[in-house]
Amino acid sequence: MKLALGTVQFGLNYGVSNRAGKTRTEEVKRILRLAKSASLNTIDTAAAYGDAEAVLGNCTINDFNIVSKVKPLPISCNEEEWVHSCLKRTLADLNLNAIYGLLLHNADDLKKYPSLLDILYNIKTNNKVAKIGLSVYSPNQVSQPILEKIDLVQLPANIFDQRFLTADLLQKFKNNKVEVHTRSAFLQGLLLMSEGEWPEYFNPIKHSLEKFHLIAKHLNVTPLALAINYVVDIELIDKVVVGVNNEAQLEEILQALESKLEPNVFYNELSIEDEKFINPAKWQLG
């Protein structure tokens, strides 16, 4: 199963299309049961996702590969103590002795603290994590020296945000044996909103949103099926992280995987370069 389960909704009220708020623990348990039955074996979480890790720790997650992230580092701190403290808290919250992956939540922290990857490597040698790496937002955050030190990278990829897909970076990751996980397949749910539902902020890309829905209609698939299969069908991607608010949403995504997309020349035309619209951290919706 190429999907991985995102958990930010378990700890925070997250997503431009989220009307339900933070997911309740009992619903989380139902989501996890469905994930397990579908052979979805990877969970993506982070210390910065509110109490998501503590919520997961109250569920049965021993059969899953857990990928977590070190909280972004403050301007001044002891980086080694910070990383070890974050991992200790994460393991305690998750009720686990070790996890599959540990990433830096903010790749730019390497500019202030160049020793971070070495610190992560030492943790790896102590068998607390199997793979170390980065969560990145832009292709310019990845250099060859970094590629040679990491095992895992998480990056944004969707039918609008094709920056990593068109820069030949995926092949570079594979050449360096770096496992690739992607997030933001639905662009926080923006791609799944109907016309008239998206915030006015996105009016400058209204044509792209309309064209996306027209292509889905032309292919006789739902916008959800187009969005998820576009990313899942990319061979060089290992896992596609999807966040859900409830069991029904996960069921819908699993069913959407049964749709098959034909290679389509129109996909490249939907690519958007302006980070104001494809990087949720830069959105100004308030």
HSE on the CB side for 189, CA within 13 Å? 16
Residue 266 has what pLDDT?
80
Which of 241, 237, 145, 235 has the alpha carbon at shortest distance from 186? 241
Residue 18: pLDDT over 90: no
Residue 68 has what pLDDT?
98
Residue 167 has what pLDDT?
75
Counted residue by residue, the chain has a size of 286
Task: Read off the tokens for 261.
Answer: 């997309």
Q: Which range, of 104-113, 159-168, 172-181, averages the lowest pLDDT?
A: 159-168
Residue 240: pLDDT over 50: yes
> Is residue 86 within 8 Å of residue 64, measured between CB atoms?
no
Which of 275, 282, 19, 34 has the alpha carbon at shortest distance from 140? 275
Rounded to the nearest integer, the mean pLDDT of the chain is 94
pLDDT in tens, 108-122: 999 999 999 999 999
CA 273: distance to chain centroid?
19
Confidence of residue 263 (pLDDT cuts 50, 70, 90): confident
Residue 14: pLDDT over 90: no
Question: Looking at the whole model, is its pTM more than 0.85?
Answer: yes
Residue 151: pLDDT over 90: yes
pLDDT in tens, 53-91: 999 999 989 999 999 999 999 989 999 999 999 999 999
Residue 19 has what pLDDT?
55
Q: Which range, of 9-23, 111-125, 214-228, averages the lowest pLDDT?
A: 9-23
Those residues whose C-beta lies under 8 Å from the C-beta of residue 237, and which sit 6 or more positions away, are 2, 157, 170, 180, 181, 182, 231
